[in-house]
Amino acid sequence: MTETPTRSADPVVDMRGITVEFPGVLALAGVDLRLYPGQVHALMGENGAGKSTLIKALTGVHPPTSGSIHLNGGPVEFTAPAQAQAAGISTVYQEVNLCPNLSVAENILLGREPRRLGAIDPRAMRVRSAQLLERIGLSVDPGSVLGSHPIAVQQLVAIARALAVDARVLVLDEPTSSLDTDEVGELFRIVRVLRDEGVAILFVSHFLDQVYEIADRMTVLRNGALVGEYLPQETERLELVSAMLGRELGTLEEVERRAEERTPGTAPLLTAEGLGRTGAIAPFDLEIRASEVVGLAGLLGSGRTETARLLFGADRADSGTISVDGRQVRPRGPRSMIAHGVALCSEDRKAEGVVADLSVRDNLVLALQAARGWMRPVPRRTADALVEEYIERLDIRPADPGAIMGHLSGGNQQKVLLARWLITRPRLLILDEPTRGIDVGAKAQIQKVVTELAADGMAVLFISAELEEVVRVCDRVVVLRDRRKVTELDGDTVTVDEVMAAIAEHEPEAVAP
Amino acid sequence: MNVLDVTRARERIERLPQRFLPVIATFVVFVLTFGTGSVLYDGFASPQILTNLFVDNAFLIVLAVGMTFVILTGGIDLSVGAVAALSTMIAAATLQAGWPPLLSVLAVLVAGTALGLLMGLVIHFFDVQPFIVTLAGMFLARGLCLLISVESISITDPAFRTVATGTITLAEGVTLTYSVLIALAVVLAAVYVLHLTRFGRTVYAVGGSATSARLMGLPTGRVRVGVYAVSGFCSALGGLLFSLYMLSGYGLHGVGMELDVIAAVVIGGTLLTGGVGYVAGSVLGVLVLGTVQTLISFEGSLSSWWTRIVIGVLLLAFIMFQRLIVRRTE
Ligand SMILES: Nc1ncnc2c1ncn2[C@@H]1O[C@H](COP(=O)(O)OP(=O)(O)OP(=O)(O)O)[C@@H](O)[C@H]1O
Ligand SMILES: [Mg+2]
C-alpha cells in the first residue's frame, strides 16, 4: 500500500440500521455499511451471514424492511435493480446472472447497446464488447454464445458487464470464486485502476489472501448482525477469522492427519487409457484406486472440467478406453457411468439443477431415491436420519431440513449440492470445484468429509483451482496444461510449489544447473 | 489463456449451424414436402402454388409472428384465434353499421392490442400463469363475438372488397394479394424489432433467464407486458387479413387456430421454454403447414383431417428433434 486512503471524503454509500426480514428469517438486523470513494471495502462473513442480502438491500432486489440508505448524501429507496444501476451502482451478483442463450457481446451490453439511428449497431457492439473483454484480459469471441463457455469465463463476462458503465460504486459479490490466480490478478489490476479513479468498491470473498491484498477496510457480519469494521493492516488473520466464526478454527490439522491414515486399494477402480477428445483434452492415461483422492490441477482452460466430463461419460471420447474394475466399459452417456458407481458433481450449480422450490430434505432424498432406483423406496426414517447427518456433517445453515433450497445462501446451496452426491455413496466421486464460494470454516469441514469418505473406501477425483486445497486432500495430483496431461505427482512431491511449477511449465530441477 | 484462442476457431465453425439448425431443419422439411408434392402431382411445382402458400396463409404468418414474441419470453398466448375471430366480427359489424373502412380497421387494431395489453398486465402484476390468463382471454373474445352477433356477417364494403380481390402480378400467371404484402411487412418489422431494438433483445433475455434479466437492470416488466400487446396487435391484424380472405365476420372463425399457430412456431424451431428462436423459422413453419394442406387437397380423396394428423406427427418429430439438440449442446 503506497498511501493510506484518506477518509476525509464523505461516503458515497451510507447504509444505516439495515434490517431485512424474510418470512420466518431475520436475514439482517440493523447493519451499517459505509463506502468511500477511492476505497476497496471487503465484506466478510460465513456462508449465510447476510453478505449477499446486504448487497441486494442496497441494489433494490430486497428493499430493507427498515433502515436508511443514502447515496451521495441524499436518501434513496430503490425497489428494482434497474434503479440502482441508473443511480450509478454497478453490481456483479454472486451467481452468474447472465443470459446463457445470448452472445457474450450482448450479455455485456444488454440494456445499453450502442445504437445508430435508433437501431442497435451490431458492429459497434462487437467493437465495444471486444474492448471491454480486452480490458479484463479475456480473449473470447464476443459473438459466441455465453452458455458455451465455462463458469469462469461467464464470471469474467459478468465483470466486464459491470465495467461497461462508468459507475460510482462497483459491487462484486464473490467475483473470484471460480477464477484462477492469473484472472484474479487481472481483476485486481482493474479494481486498483478504478479505485484510483475514485470509484467506491465493495468486494466479497472467502479468500483471506485476496482480501488482505486488495481491501482498504473490512466489515464483518455474523448471523445477520454487524460484528465490526476492521483495517487490514491492524488486524491479524486469525483475529479476523474468529470475528467471522465467533470461535477458533481447528479442523485443518485434522484433515492433514486423516490423509496419512488412508490406504489406497491395490487394484485400480477406474482406468482410462489413451482417453481423449479433440479440442477438449489430448489422450491421457489415468488410474484411480479405491480410497484414493486424486487431484486434477491446472489453469483455467487447461481441460480439467473436460477430463471430468469424459470420465463421467457426459461427453463422448473420440479415442481411448475406460475400464471399471478391469473390465472395459463403453460409456453411452452419464447413465451408464452412474450404473458403474461413478458420480460427477459439476461446477455449474445452476445448471446442475438443485430444485430451488423444494426443501433441503427433498433435494437430498430425491438424489438418494434416484440412486437406489424407484423400485426400492427409501424408508422415511432412514432418509430423515441421513438428511440430518449430512446437514450436520457439512454444517448446512439453517440446519433445518424443511428450509427452501432457493432461499439458502450461495455457499449453503453448494453444500446441499455436495451432500446430494455424498449421500448416494458412489464408488468414484468426481468433484469439480466442490468448495466454490464456501467459507473458510465450512471448507475445512468439507475437506474433512471428503477424506473421511475416502478412508471408508470411496475413490475421489478432486478438481480445484485452489492448490492449497488440492495438496491438502489429495494423495496424487495430475497436472494439466493446455488441454494435455503433463505430469503426475505423488508422495512427497505433492506440494504447492511442485504443482505450481508443473503448471507453469518449468521443471524445478531444470532451474538449478 | 491462449488455449481459449484455439477453441475459438472451433466455436466459430460450430456456432452458425448450432444456432440456426432448427430453422435450417424446418427449411429442409419444407423443401422435402414441397418436393414430394412436385414428384407426386403434375402442376404442383408451379410458382403459383408457391405464392398461394403465402396468399392462403398470410393471416397465419401474422399470428405466428405475434406468437413468436410471446413464446420467446417463455410465455404462451391461447387467445390469438379468438381475438382474430373477434377482429373479423368487429370489422364486419362496424362496416355494416356504415363506418368508414379506415376507422373500422383502426377500431379492430386498438381493440386487439388493448386486449393483449390487458392480459399482459394481469400476467405480470398478478403473477398468474400466461396459460390461464390467455385461456380466459380466449373465452372472453369468443363471448364478445357472440355478443355482437351469433350469425355470420358478410362484408360488402366496396373498399374492403377491392383490397381483398386486388392482385399484384409478379410474372405471367403468378399473382399475389395485398394481404401477402402486409404479412411480409409485419415479418420484416418483427425481425427489425427482435434483433435491432433493445425491446427485442430484452425479449430474448427474459426468455433466457428472467431473474438474470431483472438483476441486469433490464425492463423485464415492460417486455413481459409488451409481448402480449404485440401478440394482441398481430391477432387483430391477422383477423383483418382473415376477414379479407373470407369477406365475412363470424364468431366461429378460426376455432383452434391458436393451436395451428403454436404448432407453426414450434415447427419453426422456437423453444417453448423461451429464449431461442427466429421469426423466419415461424414463417417457414407456417409454410410447412400450408404445403401439407395443399398436398392433401391435391390428393383430393383424403379428408382434411389428414392435415391434422400430419401436423401432429410433424410437431412431435420437431419437439423430439429439439430435445436432441438441447441434449447434445448440454
Ligand atoms: N429469499 C429468501 N428467503 C428466505 N431466506 C433468505 C432469502 N435469501 C436469503 N435468505 C437467508 O438469509 C440469510 C443470509 O443469506 P445471504 O445469501 O445473504 O448469505 P451470504 O452471507 O451471502 O452467504 P454466502 O457466503 O453463502 O453467499 C441466510 O440464512 C439465507 O438462508
Ligand atoms: Mg452470498
Query: B196 vs A279: CB contact, 8 Å cut-off?
Result: no
Report the pLDDT averaged over residues A36-53.
94
- Residue burial B87-110, b: 16+ Cβ < 10 Å; e: rest: bbbbbbbbbbeebebeebbebbbe
pLDDT at A255: 55
Chain A CB within 8 Å of residue B201 CB: yes
Contacts of B19 in chain A (CB under 8 A): 145
Q: How many Å from the N-terminal Cα to the C-terminal Cα in chain B? A: 23
The string of pLDDT tens digits covering residues A104-118 is 999 999 998 999 988
| Average pLDDT over all residues of chain A | 86
Closest CA to A488 of A295, A291, A241: A295
User: Which residues' Cβ are closer than 6 Å to ligand 1?
Assistant: A 22, 25, 27, 45, 47-53, 94, 398, 407-412, 439
| Rounded distance between C-alpha atoms, residue A454 and residue A294, angstroms | 11
**In a 3-state reduction of DSSP, which class is residue A222?**
strand
Beta pairing class for A40-44 and A115-116? unpaired
CA–centroid distance, residue A409 to ligand 1 (Å): 4
Contact B30, B152 (CB under 8 A): no
Ligand having the closest approach to the CA of A219: 1
Chain A CB within 8 Å of residue B106 CB: no
| Rounded distance between C-alpha atoms, residue A400 and residue A384, angstroms | 11
**In a 3-state reduction of DSSP, which class is residue A232?**
helix
Residue type at B146 in one-letter notation: L
Residue A511 pLDDT greater than 50, yes or no = no
Chain A CB within 8 Å of residue B7 CB: yes
Beta pairing class for B167-171 and B174-177? antiparallel
Residue of chain A nearest B15, judged by CA positions: A144
As a CATH number, domain B19-329 is 1.10.3470
Among A90, A102, A139, the residue to mutate for chain B (most B Cβ within 10 A): A102
pLDDT at A347: 75
Distance from CA of B15 to the nearest CA of A (A): 7
Of A81, A113, A279, the CB nearest to B214: A81
Considering only A325-334, B110-119, B242-251, B296-305, which range has the smallest mean pLDDT? B296-305
Closest CA to B289 of B41, B53, B37, B66: B53
Of the two residues A116 and B330, the one the predictor is more confident about is A116
Q: How many Å from the N-terminal Cα to the C-terminal Cα in chain A? A: 37
The string of pLDDT tens digits covering residues B165-204 is 888 888 887 889 999 999 999 999 999 999 999 999 999 9
Residue B325: pLDDT band with limits 50, 70, 90: low
Query: A97 vs B216: CB contact, 8 Å cut-off?
Result: yes
- Residue burial B300-329, b: 16+ Cβ < 10 Å; e: rest: eeeeeeebbebbeebbeebeebbeebeeee
Backbone angles phi, psi at A466, to 5 degrees: -95, 105
| Rounded distance between C-alpha atoms, residue A421 and residue A334, angstroms | 14
Pocket test for ligand 1, best of A43, A52, A413 (most atoms within 8 A of CB): A52
pLDDT at B327: 60
HSE, side-chain direction, 13 A CA sphere, residue A240: 25
How far lies B27's CA from each of A159, B211, B300, in Å? Answer: 39, 34, 26
Of A98, A120, A302, the CB nearest to B201: A120
Closest CA to A180 of A349, A346, A300: A300
The string of pLDDT tens digits covering residues A126-148 is 999 999 999 888 889 999 999 88
Chain A CB within 8 Å of residue B120 CB: no
Residue B6: pLDDT band with limits 50, 70, 90: very low
CA–centroid distance, residue A57 to ligand 1 (Å): 12
Contacts of A351 in chain B (CB under 8 A): 330
Contact B328, B71 (CB under 8 A): no
**In a 3-state reduction of DSSP, which class is residue A367?**
helix
Residue of chain A nearest B273, judged by CA positions: A101
Residue B38 pLDDT greater than 80, yes or no = yes
| Rounded distance between C-alpha atoms, residue B230 and residue A249, angstroms | 59
Residue A428 pLDDT greater than 80, yes or no = yes
Report the pLDDT averaged over residues A479-487.
90
Residue A305 pLDDT greater than 80, yes or no = yes
Distance from CA of A189 to the nearest CA of B (A): 17
Beta pairing class for A459-463 and A293-297? parallel
Nearest CA to ligand 1 atom 12: A27
CB pairs under 8 A between A and B: 113
Of the two residues A265 and B285, the one the predictor is more confident about is B285
Chain B CB within 8 Å of residue A2 CB: no
Report the pLDDT averaged over residues A250-256.
55
Residue A151 pLDDT greater than 70, yes or no = yes
| Rounded distance between C-alpha atoms, residue A81 and residue A53, angstroms | 13
Distance from CA of B225 to the nearest CA of A (A): 17
Compute chain A's Rg from CA coordinates.
23
**In a 3-state reduction of DSSP, which class is residue A327?**
strand
User: Which ipTM did the prediction report?
Assistant: 0.86
pLDDT at B16: 54
Closest CA to A58 of A72, A75, A77, A42: A77
Of the two residues B254 and B321, the one the predictor is more confident about is B254
Residue A5 pLDDT greater than 60, yes or no = no
Contacts of A86 in chain B (CB under 8 A): 217
Among A79, A89, A110, the residue to mutate for chain B (most B Cβ within 10 A): A110
| Rounded distance between C-alpha atoms, residue A93 and residue A114, angstroms | 24
pLDDT at B194: 96
Of the two residues A99 and A442, the one the predictor is more confident about is A99
Q: Measure the CA angle with vertex B248, ends B242 and B252; round to 5°.
A: 75
HSE, side-chain direction, 13 A CA sphere, residue A351: 19
Contacts of B5 in chain A (CB under 8 A): 139
Residue B328: pLDDT band with limits 50, 70, 90: low
Instruction: Dump the DSSP string for A18-69.
Output: EEEEETTEEEEEEEEEEE-TT-EEEEE--TTSSHHHHHHHHTTSS--SEEEE
Residue of chain A nearest B19, judged by CA positions: A145
As a CATH number, domain A251-341+427-508 is 3.40.50.300
Residue B9 pLDDT greater than 60, yes or no = no
Residue B54 pLDDT greater than 50, yes or no = yes
Residue of chain A nearest B205, judged by CA positions: A99
Query: B8 vs A153: CB contact, 8 Å cut-off?
Result: no
As a CATH number, domain A13-245 is 3.40.50.300
Residue of chain A nearest B217, judged by CA positions: A82
Ligand 1 atom with minimal separation from the A23 CA: 4
Nine cell digits for residue A140: 473470447
Query: B212 vs A98: CB contact, 8 Å cut-off?
Result: yes
| Rounded distance between C-alpha atoms, residue A477 and residue A461, angstroms | 9
Residue B86 pLDDT greater than 90, yes or no = yes
* Residue range(s) in chain A whose domain bears CATH number 3.40.50.300: 13-245, 251-341+427-508
Residue A448 pLDDT greater than 80, yes or no = yes
Longest dimension (CA), chain B: 73
Q: What is the pTM of this model?
A: 0.83
Contacts of B328 in chain A (CB under 8 A): none
pLDDT at A326: 87
pLDDT at B17: 59
Among B2, B11, B125, the residue to mutate for chain A (most A Cβ within 10 A): B11
Q: Measure the CA angle with vertex A63, ends A62 and A66; round to 5°.
A: 125
Residue A123 pLDDT greater than 50, yes or no = yes
Report the pLDDT averaged over residues A164-176.
91
Write down the domain spans for chain B. Answer: 19-329
Backbone angles phi, psi at A484, to 5 degrees: -155, 140
Residue B326: pLDDT band with limits 50, 70, 90: low
Closest CA to A14 of A45, A46, A58: A58
